[in-house]
Amino acid sequence: MSAARWLSLIGLGEDGVEALTPAARALIADAALIVGGARHLELIGPQKGETLRWPSPLSAAMETILSHRGAPTVVLASGDPFFFGVGDIIARNVAAEEILCLPAPSAFALAAARLCWSQQDCALLSLHGRAFERVTPHLQPMRRLLILSWDETTPTRLAAHLTALGMGDSRVHVLEHMGGPRERVRSALAHDFSLADIAALNALGVEVVAGPDARVPPLTPGLPDDWFEHDGQITKRDIRAVTLAALAPRRGERLWDIGAGSGSIAIEWMLADPANRANAIERNATRIARIARNAATLGVPDLDIVEGAAPQALAELPTPDVVFIGGGGDTAVIEAAWDSLPARGRIVANAVTIETQALLIDAFRRKGGELVNIAISKARPIGGFHALEPALPVLQWRAAKN
């Protein structure tokens, strides 16, 4: 190994040291410091180097690791360190030219091999150290999921979740201790899930089957209004779909949803891509609790909810890429939101009342962009007939900052 590459990331499987290459074994034997989980350290057995068990949080170990810079150091990981592993934490603190990575097959690769599934056709996600609700947006009919479990309770919890959503005919495969002498693969339908004595170290394969009344998240914006808890303070489905199109989410962008109400805009923004982030700004405590429940139910539990009134509540927030103003907008809020945007940042504001519409017209005159009037009508019964009943029109201002 080059002297510059003092830090070795070595992937381990359940079969331990025996499955490692001679080069990997030599790196472990020569290491001055070996870092890993309790299971990893047990798998490699006694070594001459100093050992460090991963603390919580993992980042707390970086000071010790960096203090050994230049000395041969090994970090042990499960499978592929750069696939939902510790590789990311290491690479944020150590330059790539100082790292040598020797991965083992990932849990996803092993699970796909056992189930004879093509990995590229599966959704790959981890619930290990992550909120369980993140699985919900991936539950599409006829989709296959490969999931890293948090612990032995995850399979049963997932089966119950599928059943509650009308997907009880989905098949859940539980894969335990893959690659080792205790390996076991079992499966059951979600609505009849009764597997017991599940190992804490497990992965899941799910074949999603949606029943006729299943609640399947659409892949386009505009979730049904009744999927959200709300008190009437919600951007309605048809207007919301147009608004999300105007906001134009791009991967990894951050949204400020000012006057979030039920949180519907921020939630659908985050559903557009797992890397998207949002701050839902709301001053009403009852609505704040409602937003949190909506976010968890619809699969974006990481939504950042900010209690307070704009513009004061905006002062300490991360810089947004996009701002939506849907409730409580006034000149001060519009100006604060505009000033917070970086170059090429985008803003969308909706108004129903004449007074707020006047503010948007003024903003359009001063800052440019475009004004769009959105008018929606729906059929309503009148006697034995139907007529189109118009909803209150919404004036929408859209602009990008130069």
Domain boundary among 69, 104, 139: 104
Q: Phi and psi at residue 35, in whole multiples of 5°?
A: -115, 135
Enclosing H/E stretch for 397: strand 394-400
Averaged pLDDT for residues 111-115: 98
Helix (H) or strand (E) holding 24: helix 22-30
Of the listed ranges 14-23, 71-80, 196-205, the least confidently predicted one is 14-23
The verdict on residue 326 lying in a domain is yes
Mean pLDDT check: name the lowest of 58-67, 141-150, 154-163. Answer: 58-67
The mean pLDDT value of the chain amounts to: 95
pLDDT of residue 346: 98
**Helix ranges, 298-328 (H):** none
Q: Are 265 and 381 part of one and the same domain?
A: yes
In the chain, the percentage of residues whose pLDDT exceeds 70 is 99
pLDDT digits (tens, 9 = 90+) for 360-396: 999 999 999 999 999 999 999 999 999 999 999 999 9
DSSP state of 288: H
Specify if 165 maps to a domain. yes
**73, 154: one domain:** no
Within a domain: 44:
yes
Residue-level pLDDT at 15: 85
* Residue in the block written with tokens 């839902």: 280
| CA 41/CA 199 separation, integer angstroms | 19
DSSP state of 381: E
Q: 189 and 311 share a domain?
A: no
Convert the pLDDT of each residue in 27-53 to its tens digit: 999 999 999 999 999 999 999 999 999
Domain that includes residue 346, residue range: 225-400
Q: What's at 177, amino acid-wise?
A: H
Query: What pLDDT was estimated at residue 141?
Result: 96
Return the bridge partners of 186, or none.
174
What pLDDT is attached to residue 17? 87
From 176, 207, 238, the end of a domain falls on 207
Q: Would you state the pLDDT for residue 329?
A: 81
Identify whether residues 88 and 167 lie together within a single domain.
no
What are the strands, taking DSSP E only, across 293-384? 304-307, 322-325, 346-351, 370-374, 377-382
Kindly state whether residues 135 and 185 are assigned to the same domain. yes
140: left (phi over 0), alpha (psi -120 to 50) or beta: beta
Is the predicted pLDDT of residue 3 greater than 70, yes or no? no
What kind and span of H or E run contains 125? strand 122-126
| Measured distance CA(379)–CA(311) in Å, rounded | 39
Q: Is the peptide bond before 103 cis (omega within 30 degrees of 0)?
A: no
Q: Tokens 């000071």 appear where?
A: 63
pLDDT surpasses 90 at 1: no
29 plus 85 within the same structural domain:
yes
Phi, psi of 38 (to 5 degrees): -55, -40
pLDDT at 223: 97
The rounded percent of the chain whose pLDDT value lies above 90 is 93
**Residue finishing a domain among 207, 234, 249:** 207
Residue 78 resides in a domain? yes
* CA-wise closest residue to 323 among 357, 369, 279: 279
Q: Do 86 and 126 reside in the same domain of the chain? A: no
Comparing C-alpha atoms, which of 209, 277, 268, 218 is closest to residue 243? 268
Mean pLDDT to the nearest integer, 397-401? 98
Q: Which residues sit opposite 351 in a β-bridge?
A: 395
Dist CA 160 CA 162 (whole Å): 5
The pLDDT value given to residue 327: 72
Q: Are residues 54 and 182 in the same domain?
A: no
Q: What is the pLDDT of residue 44?
A: 92
Give pLDDT tens digits for 244-259.
999 999 999 999 999 9
The verdict on 188 and 243 lying in the same domain is no
Residue (of 18, 15, 9) closest to 36 by Cα position: 9
CB 273 within 8 A of CB 322: no
Using CA atoms, how far apart are residues 225 and 163, in angstroms rounded to an integer?
A: 22
Whether residue 125 contacts residue 160, with contact meaning beta carbons closer than 8 Å, is answered with: no
Q: What is the pLDDT of residue 51?
A: 95
* Residue 40: CATH number of its domain: 3.40.1010.10
Instruction: State how far the alpha carbon of 306 is from the alpha carbons of 297, 313, 327, in Å.
Output: 19, 7, 15
| Residue 219 belongs to a domain | no
Residue 127 pLDDT: 96
Regarding whether 242 and 121 lie in a shared domain, the answer is no
How many alpha carbons fall within 13 Å on the CB side of residue 187?
Answer: 13
Whether 2 maps to a domain, the answer reads: no
What pTM, to 2 d.p., does this model score?
0.90
Cβ-based neighbour number of residue 315 at 10 Å? 10
The residues that bridge with 148 in the sheet, in sequence order, are 126, 203
Question: How confident is the model at residue 2, as a pLDDT?
Answer: 53
Q: Is residue 261 part of a domain?
A: yes
Give 207's pLDDT tier (boundaries 50, 70, 90): very high
Is the per-residue pLDDT at 19 higher than 90? Answer: no
Residue 215 resides in a domain: no
Please list, in sequence order, all residues whose beta carbon lies within 8 angstroms of the beta carbon of residue 122, skipping any fewer than 6 positions away.
Answer: 108, 112, 143, 144, 145, 146
Same domain, 165 and 270: no
On whether both 35 and 50 belong to a single domain, the answer is yes
Q: Is the pLDDT of residue 332 over 70?
A: yes
The amino acid sitting at 335 is: E
- Quickly state the pLDDT bin for 18 (edges 50, 70, 90): confident
Q: What CATH number has the domain bearing residue 345? A: 3.40.50.150
- For the cut 70, the answer to whether the pLDDT of residue 80 exceeds it is yes
Q: Give the C-alpha separation, 193 to 159, whole Å.
A: 6
- Whether residue 221 has a cis bond before it, omega within 30° of 0: no
Provide the domain count of the chain: 3
How many C-beta atoms lie closer than 10 Å to residue 344's C-beta? 9
Residue with tokens 């900010």: 306
